[in-house]
Amino acid sequence: MKPIILVIVSLSFAAASIMTAEQISIVQASFDEVKGDPVGILYACLKADPSIQEKFPQFAGKDLEVVKGTPEFKTHAKRIVGYSLKVIYELPDMERDVDTFVASHKPRGITHEQLDNFRAGFVTYMKAHTDFAKSESAWGASLDNFFGMIKSKM
Ligand code: HEM
């Protein structure tokens, strides 16, 4: 039994890495560049995995190219960007925001694969809209921490 407990403890430590103050300010400045395009960000995240869109009753079964132009899509996109801004401006402390996310999203039956694909869609967006090479490793650290903590809780 003891070795198993040790493995679990070491894995949970491995999931979180300490972010430097420089990495945090790079991520904040980088997100500031794109926060005015919530619709484009959500579109990229849903485009990466159509099964994510199917979880939204208001978007399920509809053409993403049409849905992205609706007021409902804009409203949800603003909620996601607002939440992300909160997490990013509270770095490196994200546990309370992660717990809020897990409390509302765990009952939605979201898989780890969907979380990975959502993340990949976001990175695709950032590569297309920012000079991502400059911020890639800082984003890598913050996304590893955010999604790692979520996955350990759901
Ligand atoms: C990866 C797959 C995901 C799925 C399938 C999913 C699904 C959903 C659904 C169905 C809702 C309710 C929408 C409504 O009632 O109008 C929702 C709400 C929300 N989602 Fe997600 N979501 C995912 C990932 C994310 C991520 C990564 C973030 C943050 C970066 C996020 C942030 C939010 C926020 C802020 C809300 C509104 C508050 C709430 O109901 O929790 N979601 N999501």
pLDDT band at 16 (very low <50, low <70, confident <90, very high): low
pLDDT at 7: 43
Q: Write down the pLDDT at residue 18.
A: 83
Residue 63 CA to residue 55 CA, distance in Å, equals: 14
Distance in Å, CA 74 to ligand 1 centroid = 13
Q: Of the candidates 27, 59, 30, 33, which has an alpha carbon nearest to the alpha carbon of residue 45?
A: 59
Asked whether the predicted pLDDT for residue 1 surpasses 70, the reply is: no
DSSP code per residue over 56-120: -TTTTTS-HHHHTTSHHHHHHHHHHHHHHHHHHHTTT--HHHHHHHHHHHGGGT--HHHHHHHHH
- Residue 109 is encoded by which pair of tokens? 């039956």
Reported as a single tens digit per residue, the pLDDT across 45-87 is: 999 999 999 999 999 999 999 999 999 999 999 999 999 999 9
Closest C-alpha to ligand 1, atom 33: 80
Please say whether the beta carbons of 89 and 54 come within 8 A: no
Please give the CATH superfamily to which domain 22-153 belongs.
Globins (1.10.490.10)
Which residue puts its alpha carbon closest to atom 20 of ligand 1? 80
Could you read off the pLDDT of 78-103 as tens digits, one per residue?
999 999 999 999 999 999 999 999 99
Q: Which residues line ligand 1 (CB under 6 A)?
A: 52, 55-56, 76, 79-80, 83-84, 104-105, 108, 110, 114-115, 118
| Atom 9 of ligand 1, nearest CA residue | 56
